[in-house]
Structure 1
Amino acid sequence: MDRFLPRLGVILAAALLTACQANPGPPPVVDENDRSTTPTNSSTTAPPPEAAPEEDLLPERSTVAIGVDPLRGGLNPHLVANNSELVNQIAELVLPSAFHGSEMDTDVLESAEEIEAPGSIAMRVRYTIAGPAQWSDGTPISGSDFNYLWSQITRTPGAKDVAGYRAITAVRTSGNGRVVTVDFAHRVEDWQKLFANLVPSHLLEDRDFASALADGIPASAGRYLVAGMDRGRGIITLNRNDRFWGEDPANIDVIQLRAVRDTAQAVNMLRSHQIGFADITPQQTTLENLSLLSNVNTGVVTRQRQLRLNMSAVEGAFDEQAQRRALASLLDTDQLARLATGRASELKPGNNPFDSHAELAPLRERAGRKPVRIAVDPQYPTALAAATTIVDVLQAKAIDAEVVTERLTTITSDLLPAGKVDAVVAWDENGEDALSLANYFVCATPTRPAATLSGYCPENSADTALGILSGDVDSATAQDRVEHLNREEALFVPLLNEVRIHALGKGIVGPGQSIEDWDSGLISAPQWRKDDD
């Protein structure tokens, strides 16, 4: 009977390992005063090596694969340079947020409330972080993560959602890092939308925020973690975060995000069951091709995101309104949308608000002194095609112009502020909430960059921003003010509104049977189960 004991030990060890993964314990407590590595057992005899588990006794990890657009930039969701559906959805799975919409995340926070503020403080909000909340390396989520995000967004060129954070004057931490008190210079009605997608400050504080998440996210506090990025093969691997402490942990162990570069690849991968779901940018025949596949349900999804030509109003660029208006008047957004995407189906061109008969003399005069320079990040093919087409339009009118290809982080941090380029083609969230609309009225200071790519500072900007953020100006009125500002000053031209294709094949049981139930895409991944039928 003794010969069965080693095998029994292996079985018990494997069972214990599985139990630990399904029920993570509390985060480890590190005593900063005791970093000794001295063993507690004084014996010098090394313990016998553990028996290697037999492969057939290890639990098989459930794995699914889905098709996504190729990752163009990094994974920092707070940067204009990384503005994409894929990055935003990965962030939702991996990074913790104080609120999701208007709902507090009870896994992350015990409470969040506006409290009485002393006379010199316009508004004060107090967050209490849930005791078990931790990063995947065991470090507790703390006020340092709140403070870090605030400080980085307000001082990093090309950061998103700046207006609400610029209203903050202090972020203080107490209660062993679990209590976060945030003071505001003026009222922010939608304060619940702040502190979404917190990042692990303890791993990033010595790194440049603009590039810190260029090749991954080093720790997770969501239901999944980024386990690997293989840009050459076009695969991002998400593993279930077994240190996730909250309710409803993810069901599937591994999700492979596989880059789909064209329609033929999407069709082949769905047909052969290499992927069970796809969330991709369409080409001309994508929907038609996918509709021919049996057992594949397809749907068209529109997003708020918008490709824009943002014209720089800083000194040395298009600092005269007439120059910007002349350029805008030359753009046929229907044509630009078709040529930039290479398709006429599943297409929503932007609406150019500018008259097509504007006087071109100011633009010609400026181009005679130095060429019009349109900047674009070459990693984004649709934006690059749009920028190239705009230059072609200008040159066809005998207006000297050229494309400047550079990483968007460099464009926002160097080229735009210094007036080295006149405009940039990039994706914009096109948000309609108060925090997004207030950005148009937040101006640059000697220590803080502008909140928009145009760099334009409107008259009475501070009062307008305050009114929008405080809720005194409702969202419809705020939207009207932004549109009026753009019509008057010609700051941006909407070129293209984002349209996506969802295709559900076999292998995944998700949020529902209808393709409409999958509108949220990858965000619903924690609900998925593997279908082995």
Structure 2
Amino acid sequence: MPVEVVVGVDELEGGFNPHTLADLSPTSSALASLMLPSVFRPAADGSLQLDTTLMESAEVVPDAEKFTVRYRIRREASWSDGAPIAAEDFVYLWEQLRSQPGVADPAGYQLIDDVASRQGGKTVEVTFAKPYPGWQTLFTNLLPAHLLRDAPRGWATVLDEGYPASGGPFAIRQVDLDRGEIILERNDRYWGPPAKSDRIVLRAVDKARQVEALRSGDSHLAVFGADAATMRSLHELGDAVQLITVPRPATMQVLLRPDSRALADVTVRNAVLAALDRQALIEAGTGGGPAEQLQAHAQVLAPSERGYTPTEPAGALPRRPDPAQVERLLGEAGYQRSGGAWVRDGRPLNLVIAAPFEHESYLKIAEAAAQQLRDQGIQATVVTPTGDQLFGEMLATSPRTGESGGAGSVDMAIAPRPAGGDPAAMMASSFGCPGVAADSEQPFPYNVAGFCDELLQPTIDAAMTGQVPFADAAANVESVVWREAIALPLYQQAQVLAVRREVTGVQAGFGLSGPFSTAADWVGTPADNDGY
């Protein structure tokens, strides 16, 4: 009988591209850990360590004319269809991540001038426009370029059904999103140490059934977003189940977009913040689960990251909605209260709040925020585009184009702020002005906040290239972002990992890599049947 591990997970959202904000989900992280190769991975102390299963070496080339990194890929490293993992996979990722809208962490890739293939594609030379100390965070979760480059539906949807090939210890056997099940089996073409179990079954069920499946043994472990009631039920299982909080590489935030007509005035943005009940928004998103313990009070680093310290200025935000402050600020901005609404120049203040409809917690936060604003007389409407539409189109439009239906039609957005990469690059990706591709003069996409401060940009650039220490640059950038009321951080996403005793080898994972990064070492139990 094959040995299998059955894992209870949250709803299996469609879209498995780990590089896009739209697909930034536990499911995409899990599958990427199981199947996509990365040059570096987090070590026990959180530092990055070369993955020697994939790589022979990766090092800065001494005395090169420009800052250059040479990567040597192991000869035997190949995708599950037999194609070699090679330079074309590096080129493909670079081309997509520097230029596509709505990607999670583009800034480091936008510093690259060229990716060149050497020695039959098994050596890659990457040339940068400027020195980049954070280069080790690049080229994680490589994708099979030979299968994706000419895919008819394009980057945004090319991985909606899973990965067409694997470069890790497991490969997809079956994806059934209707039934809420993904079956992975050991990748026989994997050149590294073989996985210890024959297959892993990801099974999406609701919170009550997660607990029941753990109690009955139908699940070996579960990784999911539990609320307070579910946590109580899990604790009632006693010693049968070990519980671990697993922080995820994303901070939930409310964006107040300065490029929208309604929120172009910082006084109005501050009035909106004075109308919001932040703690209630956190409760709406977390349900009182583990993420509630990871409340965010900084604009760049997530609470579980090394070096995180709160940067929120004292008294910058009211602890609860402040009607007097709302009234004072909107009055300063030229609004008057009329018939239960705030009106200026005959137009009511009516804010459009966008949240991706695939993610329940985002929607709950958006609805709660809209109600809080209405309670203060600020009209608010929630729109729920797909993640691809929101991050790839609506929020990526240049504010200077004034395209109808573009960025200007969304005033606020509930969005994730990625974590876990190079901090300076994360800061540049979240709050930097868009640069221009050196080879084509094409401008890169805007950040999802629609924020660009030309006076701040040299500080962000200097942090990227190591000329200014990250901590010094971040202090400068964060003070401006807080003052300009661009983003309201809420909490770092987190899940609970619940493990039954009969499965071994399960760990929380180093850094923000998550438990699925240890899946090759999981040992489950013989399956009830050897079919699928």
Which bracket does the TM-score occupy, shorter chain normalised?
A: 0.7 to 0.9
Any unmatched runs of 5+ in structure 1? 1-59
Aligned partner of 1:424 among 413, 422, 426? 413
| Matches of 1:324 and 1:531, distance apart in 2 | 55
Aligned partner of 2:134 among 175, 183, 190? 190
AA at the equivalent of 2:516 = L
Is the 8 Å Cα contact of residues 14 and 177 (structure 2) preserved in structure 1? no
Match of 2:118 in 1: 174
AA at the equivalent of 2:18 = P
Deviations 1:196-247 (A, max 9, x none): 101001111123111110111001101111222111111111111110012x
AA at the equivalent of 1:251 = K
- Over the residues paired in the alignment, what is the CA RMSD in angstroms? 2.6
1:277 is displaced (CA, Å) by: 0.7
**CA gap 1:275/1:329 in 2 versus in 1, 3 angstroms:** same
Aligned partner of 1:233 among 141, 166, 179? 179
More displaced 10-residue stretch of structure 1: 128-137 or 462-471? 462-471
**CA gap 1:283/1:344 in 2 versus in 1, 3 angstroms:** closer
| Matches of 2:510 and 2:85, distance apart in 1 | 35
AA at the equivalent of 2:426 = S
1:365 is displaced (CA, Å) by: 4.8
AA at the equivalent of 1:355 = L
Match of 1:434 in 2: 424
1:444 is displaced (CA, Å) by: 2.6
Any unmatched runs of 5+ in structure 2? 43-47, 298-311, 319-324, 336-341, 398-405, 437-441, 528-532
Say whether 1:251 aligns with 2:205.
no
Aligned partner of 1:482 among 474, 477, 481? 477
| Matches of 2:161 and 2:526, distance apart in 1 | 33
Deviations 1:99-155 (A, max 9, x none): 113211112121211114654x3x111111110110000000111110110110111
Aligned partner of 1:355 among 314, 317, 322? 317
Match of 2:29 in 1: 88
**CA gap 1:344/1:136 in 2 versus in 1, 3 angstroms:** closer
**CA gap 1:373/1:237 in 2 versus in 1, 3 angstroms:** same
| Matches of 1:516 and 1:476, distance apart in 2 | 23
AA at the equivalent of 2:76 = P
1:438 is displaced (CA, Å) by: 2.7
More displaced 10-residue stretch of structure 1: 220-229 or 498-507? 498-507
| Matches of 2:433 and 2:509, distance apart in 1 | 43
Match of 1:160 in 2: 104
- Number of residue equivalences: 469
Aligned partner of 1:525 among 498, 519, 522? 519
Aligned partner of 1:384 among 360, 363, 366? 363
AA at the equivalent of 1:324 = R
Match of 1:43 in 2: none
Say whether 1:205 aligns with 2:116.
no
Higher relative contact order (CA 8 A, sep 6+): 2
| Matches of 2:356 and 2:81, distance apart in 1 | 34
Taking the TM superposition and a 5 Å limit, the aligned residue runs for 1:208-219 are 208-219=154-165
1:160 is displaced (CA, Å) by: 1.1
| Matches of 2:191 and 2:249, distance apart in 1 | 33
Q: Percent identity?
A: 32
Match of 1:35 in 2: none
| Matches of 1:374 and 1:330, distance apart in 2 | 14
Is the 8 Å Cα contact of residues 90 and 523 (structure 1) preserved in structure 2? no
Match of 1:471 in 2: 466
Deviations 1:345-389 (A, max 9, x none): 762344476433361343745793562100111111111011011
Match of 1:8 in 2: none
TM, length-normalised to structure 1:
0.82
TM, length-normalised to structure 2:
0.82
| Matches of 1:380 and 1:425, distance apart in 2 | 10
**CA gap 1:241/1:532 in 2 versus in 1, 3 angstroms:** closer
Match of 2:380 in 1: 401
1:532 is displaced (CA, Å) by: 5.8
Match of 1:104 in 2: 50
Say which SS state the counterpart of residue 300 (structure 1) adopts.
strand
Once superposed, which parts of structure 1, at least 4 consecutive aligned residues long, lie more than 6 Å away?
514-519
1:65 is displaced (CA, Å) by: 0.3
**CA gap 1:478/1:68 in 2 versus in 1, 3 angstroms:** farther
AA at the equivalent of 2:189 = R
Between Structure 1 and Structure 2, whose CA radius of gyration is higher?
1
AA at the equivalent of 1:280 = F
**CA gap 1:278/1:435 in 2 versus in 1, 3 angstroms:** same
Match of 2:205 in 1: 260
